[in-house]
Chain A
Amino acid sequence: MLKNLSLKSVLVSSAVALSMVGQAHAYEPARSAECIAPANPGGGWDFTCRSVGKVLVDQDYIKGNVQTVNMSGAGGGVAFAHTVSKRTKDDNLIVAASTATTTRLAQGQFPGMNSDQVKWVGTLGADYGIIAVGKDSKYTSLNQLIDALKQDPTSVKFAGGSASGGWDHLKVLMTAQKAHVENLPKVRYLAFSGGSEALVQVVGGHVDAFTGDVSEVKGFMDSGDLRVLAVLSEQRLPAPFNTIPTAMEQGIDSVAPNWRGFYVPGKASQDSYDWWVDTMNELYTTQEWKDIMTKNGLMPFHKSGAEFTQFVKNQTLDIQILSKDIGLIR
């Protein structure tokens, strides 16, 4: 095991050395690359790294292997700090990111760091937000639920899988704000340590409504225990989720994609950045990636390069303004 480990570190360091030599010319990917998943094995970021790494190798974009390194801590902050401070010129490193990353950046939860310190490569799909209630709930449409909130913002209690102020919480507040609900800080949100824990409480009838992502609810939707009131996407999602109405259809202009994508170190060479952007664009169109998306409930959502960088900026700003409005940050 130790031998294996040191072999890997030799590979990585030689890859770094190779890339330094190669920088004089147009960027050629090294034999192997590294993908940091800023969480323990088994979560969303780990999945992003491992599945993209596999496609990169299968489709021959990378000749050697893509090693996934788990670096948990501070909801991605440890990996972000590591990238900014220690790997800032590494051309062969990508780091998995999602809306959780932008949320924390926007709320200043990575102290002294901001989104300009890294280069944003692109997204390869998204998991859209939903708002749902238990099967015995009195609410049958998003508007009924919003009307109840307008009457009394404490009347509907929401359960979600992120901490207070996290993405699941923000989705509810964004939707309520777009529907002109007043007194947003009074909206009650119960933070659970994962979407499934929150779901059980809603299905069990202990909490009024669930806020989460569409990939989390399939089981309880099929069993009929959960009524999904709205999906926060621009258009209806493909089957089997095409029965869920969008919030927009119901007159509430709220869209909340939880995207999955990558950033690279801030001083990675322009050539290597371009290579990663092009490669992600191509990868997104492969059948292999499409199959992975279908199998794991990821919806189409692709932005890359400058467009993605602008998107990240806007999203960070939006979240910052909302968080200030509702008193989450000063």
Chain B
Amino acid sequence: MDTISLLMQGFAVALSPESIMFAVAGAILGTLIGALPGLGPANGVAILIPLAFSLGLSPTSSLILLTSVYAGAMYGGRISSILLNIPGDEPAMMTCLDGYPMALKGKAAEALAISAIASFIGSFIATIGLVILAPILAKFALKFGPSEYFALFALAFATLGGITGKNQFKTLMAAAIGLMIATVGIDISTGVQRYTFNTLELFEGVDFIIAIVGLFAISELLFFLERHAGDGLKQVAINKLKLSAKDIIKVLPASIRGALLGFVSGVLPGAGASLGSFISYTLEKRTSDKGEFGHGDPRGVAAPEAGNNGAASGALVPMLTLGVPGSGTTAVLLAMLISLNISPGPMLFQQNADLVWGVIAAMFVGNLVLLLLNIPMVGIFVKLLSIPPKYLMPIVTLIASVGIYSVSHSALDLYFMVGFGVAGYIFRKVDIPLVPIILGMLLGPEMEKSLRHALVLSDGDWGVLFNSGLSIGLWTVAILGLVLPIVVGPIVRAKMARSKNSTS
């Protein structure tokens, strides 16, 4: 068992004191960020990327820190869902359905504990899935030539909106903005500079990290300024925890089913965590015997939590093996990898085995840390919810600016960061999603390169794009991904809205 021994080596990396420290720090920061309404996992990771740069961390430590933040944010998202009925991010929405009623019944502590356990099971099972699936997919990735990659990127763009996406047109518009930004800089296929106006700083294009920090972190700051400058959220009191082993056993099947469904939807491009938690919840509601779903059934908390955490780990599979991110947060992590000069893909498992397996092992460690942190310390996180943003946001801005500056020592990058921040604020005001912009920036150059390579190899014959079973299969899924949301999307959204309305 090659995988097992590699994983053991990974644990040797993950269990070093330094790695544990970063995993714990990431878990705490992530939970905090996830708990704050509006700051989702993508923002969390975006805010902390500059921190990793300015601390001069090694690639392994940076990734351990950021994946822990990612996992922590998925955990944290549920705290405000349950206590305040405000989801920290979209996937946490389903947790409101039964979590908030439980809190109203005076069972907030139980709801938080159950969701922590379900989150743990979700992440744990999905990380095992990642361990099994990733090396297989990494070998399979050798079958991807330029034309297959082109089809895969087309698929990634086609499924960008996802099944639950609202406005396909705005999604496409956002992707186009990303693609346009991506054309700045040297065109590696010809060596020609595009849109650089002889400005040296632009020769390598616009840095993704700057765009990400600007779009996510700085625009968030502007929103905070606008929304509630200064005030913290109201304090919520929670009851004393009374949870028996029987209660835990009762939610186990729901958690395991949720985890598996979540993992699968995370691996599929475009589906993502929202769908993972939605499917897990509806399936649980349908298959379970008499329950009081929507009125505070513990299984209604466990299933979607396991689902969204499972999907979070599942989304790492295509990102690590193919270099194609399945969600906004994995896109941010991908940008981070590229900035550290690590190219994802099959070679990652060969050349950076230490790093990959170290990070995977750190996910196990991080999850355990999260579980241990979340049950006894939930009171502290709840208190943190009431930290006034007037103290929090300046710190975020400071970290972001110092980090961005320390990457390139160029003041121009700071102007760009602020520029992206203002643009991000405007985009969000007019409901243009930000994630497709980042994906456009990341995938655009790759897609262009694949197309050109395919055509060079075929001496200009466009037929090459459809000449293997694999590429035809990918094109088929891409077309389905574009058409299905138009047909099925309204039905799914209506159901999501109905189940939400019926409870609140």
Contact = CB atoms under 8 A, between A and B. Distances in A.
Interface of A: 1-2, 5, 39-43, 46, 69-75, 77-78, 81-82, 109-111, 154, 157, 163-166, 188, 190-194, 196-197, 199-201, 203-207, 219-220, 328
Interface residues of B, number: 46
A199 B457 CA distance: 16
B345 A200 contact: yes
Residue of B144, B186, B347 with most chain A CB atoms under a 10 A cut-off: B347
Contacts of A73: 200-201, 203-204, 408, 410
B137 interface: no
Interface string B52-92: 01111001000000000000000000000000000000000
Contacts of A71: 408-410
Most A CB within 10 A of own CB, among B141, B203, B342: B203
B341 A196 contact: no
Contacts of B350: 219-220
Tell which of A1, A71, A203 has the most Cβ of chain B within 10 Å: A1
B146 A201 contact: yes
Interface in B342-364: 342-343, 345-347, 350-351
Interface in B236-277: none
Given A154-B459, A166-B191, A70 B143 contact: no
B204 A75 contact: yes
A86 to B, nearest CB: 11
Interface in B417-455: 445-446, 449, 453
A206 B146 contact: yes
What 9 A-B pairs have minimum CB-CB distances, sorted nearest first?
Answer: A206-B145, A74-B203, A42-B341, A196-B347, A165-B191, A163-B188, A204-B142, A164-B191, A191-B188
Nearest to B452: A190
13 contacts: A2-B402, A39-B341, A41-B56, A42-B340, A43-B341, A72-B204, A73-B408, A77-B203, A109-B203, A157-B456, A164-B189, A166-B191, A194-B343
Given A1-B54, A190-B453, A196-B347, A204 B191 contact: no
Interface of B: 53-56, 59, 141-146, 186-191, 198, 200-201, 203-204, 339-343, 345-347, 350-351, 398, 402, 406-410, 445-446, 449, 453, 456-457, 459
A82 B406 CA distance: 15
A197 B345 contact: yes
B408 A70 contact: yes
Given A71-B409, A74-B201, A41 B340 contact: yes
Contacts of A72: 204, 407-408
Contacts of B186: 75, 163
A46 B457 CA distance: 34
B346 A219 contact: no
Describe B's contact surface by its main secondary structure: helix
B200 A81 contact: yes
Contact of B200 (A77, A196, A328): A77
Contacts of B143: 204
A193 B402 contact: no
Given A70-B408, A190-B456, A42 B342 contact: yes
A70 B407 contact: yes
A204 B145 CA distance: 7
Nearest to A72: B408
Contacts of B347: 196-197, 199-200
A327 to B, nearest CB: 11
Contacts of A193: 188, 343, 445-446, 449
B59 A2 contact: no
A203 B141 CA distance: 11
A194 B339 CA distance: 12
Given A199-B347, A219-B351, A206 B198 contact: no
Contacts of B203: 73-75, 77-78, 109
Nearest to B341: A42
Contact of A78 (B54, B201, B456): B201
Given A193-B343, A194-B341, 19 more contacts: A1-B54, A5-B54, A72-B204, A73-B203, A75-B186, A75-B204, A77-B200, A110-B200, A111-B200, A163-B187, A163-B191, A188-B456, A191-B189, A196-B345, A197-B345, A200-B345, A201-B146, A201-B453, A206-B146
Nearest to A154: B459
Contacts of A205: 145
Contacts of B406: 5, 70
Contacts of B445: 193
A102 to B, nearest CB: 16
Contact of B59 (A42, A70, A78): A42
B142 A203 contact: yes
Contacts of A201: 145-146, 453
A199 B449 CA distance: 16
Nearest to B55: A1
A228 B142 CA distance: 19
B6 to A, nearest CB: 14
A219 B350 CA distance: 7
A40 B341 contact: yes
Contacts of A192: 188, 449
A205 B146 CA distance: 11
Contacts of B398: 2
A283 to B, nearest CB: 23
Contacts of B345: 196-197, 200
A164 B346 contact: no
A46 B342 CA distance: 13
Contacts of A1: 54-55, 402
Nearest to A328: B191
Contacts of A39: 341
A197 B343 contact: yes
Nearest to A191: B188
A164 B193 CA distance: 12
Given A74-B203, A191-B449, A40 B189 contact: no
B457 A206 contact: yes
Contacts of A40: 339-341, 407
A42 B408 CA distance: 14
Contact of B190 (A164, A194, A219): A164
A205 B340 CA distance: 28
A46 B341 CA distance: 10
Contacts of B190: 164
A87 to B, nearest CB: 12
Contacts of A199: 347
B42 to A, nearest CB: 21
B56 to A, nearest CB: 7
B141 A200 contact: yes
A78 B145 contact: no
B344 to A, nearest CB: 10
A159 B59 CA distance: 27
Nearest to B185: A74
A307 B198 CA distance: 33
Nearest to A199: B347
Give the one of A110, A191, A204 with max B CB within 10 A.
Answer: A191
A219 B146 CA distance: 22
Nearest to B147: A206
A7 B56 CA distance: 16
